[in-house]
Homo-oligomer: A and B are copies of this chain.
Amino acid sequence: MMLTPTDLTDATEVTDPTSDPLTFGVGVRVTAAVMADDYAAVLTRALAGLDTAGLAVETGDVSTYAGGSESDLLRWLTDLAQALAATERHVALTVHLSRGCPGEVVCDLPGGAGPRGGEVPTSRTTGRWAAAEWALYPLADQAVTGGEPDHMRDIYAAIDHARELGTFRVSEHFVTRLEGDVGDVLATAVAGWVLVGRGVQHVTSHLTLSLNSPSHVGRAR
């Protein structure tokens, strides 16, 4: 079932904008590039089979948008990545998470809103291996609780969490390299984004995943 933002909330009735994910602008844009001649059929099938419960989904020519809670987004992303990996095609999956800046240029949240708390969603193991490059951006242009904006402190905390999940491999120019079960890799990025989001309203994260790369043959699942 496709949900639209107006189905899920009437913004004038939401007194705490951090409590409703769509009002707060919690969502993702994904681009799935299947490196095969039959890419269109493969992608259509993969998307059509996904459970979209709790999410507002809009497909487009450059990316597909999904909005909703962090745990529903992680579920949907994990299902999508698993479905794409199961096709055995080489796929580049680009994930762009955002929170705290709804609206399309201005962060349309009255009075600044403040950060949105919440639990870190747990991962689901898929049996499919991926390598990824991850960037995490606390954008301290809104209210920040507790101390000066300090992106490096928040990024270190997110990287520590990646080490705990076992997906951290190495830091490279501009990104952190992650490897492991694609469910764990996605959960790592979502966790860092949620953790930083407890102290900073507007946080984005970009993740580029490689599935079924020929250079990964023989890597652990």
Contacts and interface: CB of A to CB of B under 8 A. Distances in A.
A193 to B, nearest CB: 13
B149 A101 contact: no
Contact of A214 (B40, B65, B156, B204): B40
Contact of A61 (B25, B171, B216): B216
Interface in A86-128: 90-92, 94, 96, 98, 101-102, 104-107
**Copies of this polypeptide in the complex:** 2
Contacts of A35: 33-37, 39
A173 interface: yes
Interface in A191-221: 204, 206, 208-210, 213-216
Contacts of A105: 152, 155-156, 159, 171, 176
A75 interface: no
Nearest to A142: B151
Contact of A37 (B37, B131, B135): B37
A31 interface: yes
Interface string A25-63: 101010101111101100000000000000000001111
B29 A175 contact: yes
Given A92-B94, A94-B208, A105-B152, 16 more contacts: A27-B174, A29-B133, A29-B173, A29-B175, A31-B94, A33-B35, A36-B39, A61-B215, A62-B133, A63-B208, A67-B173, A104-B171, A105-B176, A135-B204, A137-B137, A149-B149
